Amino acid sequence: MEQDLASLAAAVAELKGSVAATNGTFSETFYFLTIPLMVLIHAGFLAYEMGASRSKNALASGIKNILAFALIVPFFYFIGWWIYWAFPTGLSLSEGAMGISGLAYANDVALPWSQYMGPNLDDRSSGVFWGAFVLFAATTASILSGGVIERIKLTGFVVLAIVLGSFVWILAAAWGWHADGWLVTKFGYHDFGAAGVVHMIAGFFSLGVIINLGPRIGKFNADGSANNIPGHSMPMTLIGLMLIIAGFWGFLMGCVIVPGEAWSWGTEIEATIYGTPMTISGMTFNTLMGFSGGIVGAWMITRDPFWMMSGALGGIISCAAGLDLWYPPMAFAIGFIGAVAMPFVASFIEKRGIDDAVGAFAVHGFLGMWGLLAVGIAAQGYPALFGEDVIETSFMGQLVGVVVMGALGFVPGYVISWLLKVTGQLRVPKEAELLGLDAVKVPASAYPEAIHPSVSPAE
């Protein structure tokens, strides 16, 4: 009898070990898959911004996207990941209530020579989590990239992209997208899908840069009226926007904490980064409803395919902060309202002499802000953190988050771009802009058959 019980116990232990190994592999794979999906975002931005550029600038627009992505990766490895774990409680480097922040914790898990920053066989999560955050960082740089096409110097853009992707956005994430973040613990700030810490930060940073960069030559007339400067390929732009939306699913997967692991909040249900419960089912309902609401809203206002596809992206961004909370018809309404407002915001800043070439501020900055406020308006009273007797979401908490995200995005963008401007590193010379950046900076041609029309395809 005792031998049978011992055999049964051994079999149960072996089964538990097998289940744990399977769960661990699933969790690791889940986050690993967010990375190639998020790369689709950058394939989308590449096509979107090249299509939105005139043909004489198409490849130059692509090059700055590719280079910014490549350079953010090592900068985020050496400093960005450490910032996320070091500064959640503010600038004091003190440990937070959850015990997963502060100087000692950051040094342990995120310094480049830490055992967690390499192929430690006992650690199955750090690399893939880091990879997902790198892609969030690169997304902020791509948002900036669209607004400044056709007149920014590559060196100036790279500096701005690195600052935004490896320093500014990750500090915002530490404050508002971390269970020890002071915006969360003190004000109940809620931003499940990073409407504030990615989109609003990047949009307001871009606005600060664009003000110093100035408009493209020919954008405004002497009386202040604006001219439309269309890109050379609307189909490429629309396809790019749809690829961004496809990649957004990976972006949102990276916002989910899967259950059952040592680093998870529990064993029964998915959670937000704050430890509050959510489901992938609810996220799916609300993402698609926000997407459709955004398209319908933009179509009703503009009938323009560019704004319709921007509205699809904007509808998701509008819902992103509360994707874990909304009842699906509410997500549709929030996406619809955001998309209706979006073209008016773009027109508002254009009338003030600001040339945002693709509406980066309207789509990301303004709608990220609207997404945060929507949670404060329609989702007050939910627990903001894991546990009992915790702070709840509120309109005031979301409003504080809006002020912080706006300032943290705009001020560094404005100051650093101003310094680049006064040192001559922000804008290309007038002659280069008129000729086209491809001819000046790129040893290739986007459309060589257009340059040599006498050469037939057979030749």
Q: Residue 137 pLDDT > 90, yes or no?
A: yes
State residue 452's pLDDT score: 45
Mean pLDDT of 425-454: 84
* Four-residue CA torsion sign, 91, 94, 100, 106: positive
Question: Helices 201-213 and 169-176 sit at what angle, rounded to 10 degrees?
Answer: 150
Using CA atoms, how far apart are residues 370 and 376, in angstroms rounded to an integer? 10
Where b means 16+ CB within 10 Å and e means fewer, 156-186 reads bbbbbbbbbbbbbbbbbbbbbbbbbbbbbbe
Using CA atoms, how far apart are residues 315 and 248, in angstroms rounded to an integer? 12
Mean pLDDT of 50-72: 94
For residue 309, the Cα-to-chain-centroid distance in whole angstroms is 17
Q: Residue 192 pLDDT > 90, yes or no?
A: yes
Q: Domains, the chain, ranges and CATH? A: 28-444 (1.10.3430.10)
Cβ-contact 79, 88 below 8 angstroms: no
Mean pLDDT of 55-60: 94
Cβ-contact 451, 58 below 8 angstroms: no
pLDDT band for 15, please (50, 70, 90 cuts). very low
Using CA atoms, how far apart are residues 65 and 67, in angstroms rounded to an integer? 6
pLDDT band for 453, please (50, 70, 90 cuts). very low
Between 11 and 209, the higher pLDDT residue: 209
Q: What is the pLDDT of residues 270-300, one digit of tens each?
A: 889 998 999 999 999 999 999 999 999 999 9
Residue found under tokens 């002499």? 353
Helix or strand holding residue 247 (H, E) = helix 234-253
> Could you give the maximum distance between any two Cα atoms of the chain, in Å?
97
When mean pLDDT is compared across 161-175, 219-233, 248-262, 416-430, the lowest value belongs to 248-262
Q: Is 123 helix (H, G, I), strand (E, B) or coil?
A: coil
Using CA atoms, how far apart are residues 216 and 206, in angstroms rounded to an integer? 15
Using CA atoms, how far apart are residues 61 and 357, in angstroms rounded to an integer? 12
State residue 23's pLDDT score: 59
State residue 254's pLDDT score: 85
Question: What is the per-residue DSSP string for 86-112?
Answer: H-TT-SS----TTS--SHHHHHHHHST
State residue 5's pLDDT score: 56
pLDDT band for 455, please (50, 70, 90 cuts). very low
Mean pLDDT of 3-8: 59
Question: What is the per-residue DSSP string for 150-207?
Answer: TTB-HHHHHHHHHHIIIIIHHHHHHHHSSTT-HHHHHH----TT-IIIIIIHHHHHHH
Helix or strand holding residue 338 (H, E) = helix 328-350
Cβ-contact 166, 81 below 8 angstroms: no
Eight-state DSSP code of residue 227: P
- In the chain the first and final C-alpha atoms are separated, in Å, by 87
Using CA atoms, how far apart are residues 76 and 79, in angstroms rounded to an integer? 5
Quick one: the chain helix, strand, coil %, rounded to 5?
Answer: 65, 0, 30
Q: Residue 265 pLDDT > 90, yes or no?
A: no
In the chain, DSSP finds a helix count (H) and a strand count (E) of: 19, 0
Mean pLDDT of 305-317: 96
Mean pLDDT of 48-71: 94
Q: Is 392 helix (H, G, I), strand (E, B) or coil?
A: strand
Share of the chain above pLDDT 90, in %: 76
Q: Which two three-digit tokens encode residue 207?
A: 């606005």
Mean pLDDT of 384-404: 94
Mean pLDDT of 336-350: 97
State residue 352's pLDDT score: 93
State residue 112's pLDDT score: 93
pTM of the model: 0.92
Instruction: Quote the mean pLDDT of the chain.
Output: 90
* Four-residue CA torsion sign, 78, 195, 408, 349: positive
Cβ-contact 83, 174 below 8 angstroms: yes
Q: Residue 458 pLDDT > 50, yes or no?
A: no
Mean pLDDT of 391-407: 97
List residues bridging with 277 in a β-sheet: 271
Mean pLDDT of 426-446: 92
Between 170 and 124, the higher pLDDT residue: 170
Q: Which amino acid is at 425?
A: Q
Mean pLDDT of 350-354: 95
State residue 364's pLDDT score: 97
CA nearest 368: which of 347, 391, 345? Answer: 345
Mean pLDDT of 84-110: 91
